[in-house]
Structure 1
């Protein structure tokens, strides 16, 4: 009989959110590796976010999902509490209590960036003595604003400062009885080990998100239409899908400086090129502002650049990758930035040009899989220092013919697939349960 893991994931399909990516992609394989998942999530109509109904079609049949309510955002906004964590917290606590009281749950697993919900873990542990794991896809308590120049963090300075002060209290509380911590970046374990003396190295596993190979197998059946560009208009469409931000300004400036340099030398090559930047803003509606086009304007190449700051549904983003002629990956000044969007870009089988910090795992993955070209930088570089690297790789990208597919080493890519990542994840579950039973 499979053991049961209660998975806390406030954002879940049909909500299009990256923080359920690990869970959603692992669901087809959990039972194969001896675990039955039970999902505890927030009702989609209570969440502010993009709805992608197609995401629900990727879920296994007979999956146990318990949807909960959340306080209406219309009421909480007046108090400045739009965050889904605050709004769902009392309902999540009650639902978790009910499930743990009525079912034999072997493990509790928090896989979310709604960090405040992790504070429930030690409360449930105290009452039910069920071991819990925390999955850090981003840092909860951080000083990124100081280290990497986030002049205006998401939500603004006041909310960011308030969230960090709260994290100073709740993060150590959540860490108090944690059995194991999974993280996407090797930097997070080091930070937490330095911060909390009671944690041990063997309580950490670094596990990136897996590659969504099943989603690409499913995509042709969906007949998804993207509206960002016309792939048959005779132009070469290069695409970036993902967030923007001041921490990515160096990579963007280097890219546009390289484009300007090459267009000045060979303007005839650039008449057919368009660069599209999609989903660059976390904000929705009129609050979604452009952060890429202003940088392109600095270098006089804004006529080649189109920015679509609003987020788009997940499968439309995959279709965009498939329809593109080349994929641009922009990295952060932060060396710990791992860019989970790398794997869909590789699976799209398009030429990839990535500009990333030399310590990022993205660099090694692209090189090992022979999936594209990489321009690397460190904290000492300015945009001008990268011109020789950037122009060399731009010339390579512009020379690739339409329908070009890189000769990716798929054997080297296999360790990054969702099935392999889920196997490792379930092996961690097994070890936690074994160690907890022995203690």
Structure 2
């Protein structure tokens, strides 16, 4: 007999938010692993994230999706309150109280980076006796930005840091299971909360669904072309920020050296695109890469489009690129959610990460030959060789390891989640 899973995901299709992708990709497969899932999300009217209606087509028609309201941001922002989690917290409490009174659920699953909503897990566990799991796609409370200058800190960092420090223990002292994309996140949590060492936990990376690639190809003509047809295009799609400078600067130094010494005149037809670098609403994002390009005299070779693009537009753009650039954060715990769409593109990838990032191990395991730590002594030479071959058109077509990729498929990632859920509810 199937068990019932109640999933809390404030962002959900058609909202184009990265933190709902795990849930979206898992929903078609939960049932085959013994879980009948329902989702509770915030009505997309209250979300200022971009929308992608195609995402709705990837959802099973049998899945129940409950929508809750939220306080309108146009009013709450006057008081400095923009968080979707905080704006929807009361409405989540009321809605799920009704669901738990009228129907039996075996487990509540929080899969979101809107972490404040997770404190309700403790409330529902005490009131209804339902265990809960939290998925750490990012850290909740973190000291990462404490030693960073104000310019590098997120907006309202002072408030969010103190709020997270207060809220995280409310959930963590009663949580029944943990999922994380990084083993380091689980280590940090166990050091802060010794009680979580006794609960089931699993490191489950972000996965991929090959069906998404087919959808992107079928709808490619519906998206505007962002890349120049007259140049060789190295493309990155994802957030920007100064924490990625240590991965980007070695590439810029290599290009600057080649241009100034006139070693490679063909660089005039070379472009690097950084697309979707800001989380701000469309038209309001501030460039974070272009100022760095200007400092290296590369403003004619670097194109930054700060507005985020939809999920399937992203996949389509990766397919149109000549090669892909994948820079990582200076945080050694960082693992990119975009690894698998990059690998599935079949394009050559130049990846530069902190040498301790788990992303490098994954890339090497899947057969990515040009993935380096930015602490590497020969990094400059590696980058120069990659760019030289790329410009000359002599980069060999990569052959990524199919069996290694299969381990990170959506169906396998769902199996791992389900095994953890069964472990929690089998007692």
Deviation at 1:91, TM superposition (A): 0.6
Deviations 1:221-264, CA, capped at 9 Å, x for gaps = 22444435356x24211100011111111111111001122333
Give 2:356's aligned residue: 359
**Contact 1:375 1:390 (8 Å CA) reproduced:** no
| Distance in 2 separating the partners of 1:282 and 1:50 | 10
- Render the CA deviation track for 1:115-162: whole Å, top value 9, x for unaligned: 11001000000011111000111111111113566743222xxx2111
Whether the aligned pair in 2 keeps the contact of 1:149 and 1:246 (CA below 8 Å) is no
Q: Does 1:413 align with 2:409?
A: no
What are the superposed Cα offsets for residues 265-310 of structure 1, whole Å, 9 maximum, x if unpaired?
4332212211110011111244311111111111112111110011
The alpha-carbon distance between structure 1 residues 103 and 132, as it changes in their structure 2 partners (threshold 3 A), is same
Q: What is residue 291 of structure 1 aligned with on the other side?
A: 288
Q: CA deviation at 1:432?
A: 0.7
Once the two structures are overlaid, the 10-residue window that deviates more, 84-93 or 365-374, is 365-374
Structure 1 runs (4+) greater than 6 angstroms displaced: none
CA–CA distance in 1 between the matches of 2:341 and 2:288? 23
Indicate how the Cα distance of structure 1 residues 395 and 267 shifts in structure 2: closer, same or farther if over 3 A, else same: closer
Counterpart contact for 2:283–2:307, Cα < 8 Å: no
Aligned to 2:107: 107
Within the candidate set 214, 217, 235, 1:217 is matched to: 214
Q: Do residues 431 (structure 1) and 423 (structure 2) align?
A: yes
Distance (Å, rounded) in 2 between the aligned partners of 1:254 and 1:226? 32
Q: Deviations over 1:56-82 (max 9, x none)?
A: 011111210001111111221111111
Question: Are 2:257 and 1:261 equivalent residues in the alignment?
Answer: yes
Change (3 A) 1:223 1:399: same
1:181 aligned to which of 178, 182, 203 = 178
Asked whether the 8 Å contact 2:207–2:410 carries over to 1, the reply is yes
- In the TM superposition, what is the alpha-carbon distance from 1:217 to its structure 2 partner? 2.3
Aligned to 1:51: 51
Q: Equivalents in 2 of 1:275, 1:297: separation in Å?
A: 13
Deviation string, structure 1 residues 326-358 (Cα, Å, up to 9, x no partner) = 000011111111001111001111110001111
Give the TM-score taking structure 2 as reference length: 0.95
Distance 2:394 2:283 in 1: 38
**Aligned match of 1:26:** 26
Residues 28 and 59 in structure 1, CA contact (< 8 A), matched pair in contact too: yes
- Paired with 2:91 and 2:232, the residues of 1 have a C-alpha distance of 50
Judged with a 3 Å threshold, the aligned counterparts in structure 2 of structure 1 residues 47 and 283 are, in CA distance, closer, same or farther, namely: same
Aligned length, in residue pairs: 426
Q: CA deviation at 1:34?
A: 0.8
Cα pair 1:277 1:307 within 8 Å, conserved = yes
Structure 2 counterpart SS, 1:146: coil
Structure 1 segment 247-396 matched on structure 2, within 5 A: 247-263=243-259, 264-378=261-375, 386-396=379-389
CA distance in 2, matches of 1:171, 1:335: 22
Distance across 2 between alignment mates of 1:150 and 1:3 = 47
Q: Quick check: 1:197 aligned with 2:194?
A: yes
Unaligned runs of 5+ in 1: none
| Structure 2 alignment gaps of length 5 or more | none
Q: Decide whether the 8 Å contact of 1:282 with 1:311 is kept in 2.
A: yes
Following superposition, the deviation at residue 202 of structure 1 comes to 5.3
1:27-71: per-residue Cα shift (whole Å, max 9, x none)?
111111111110000001111110111110111112100011111
Q: Tell whether the 8 Å contact from 2:220 to 2:313 is kept in structure 1 after alignment.
A: no
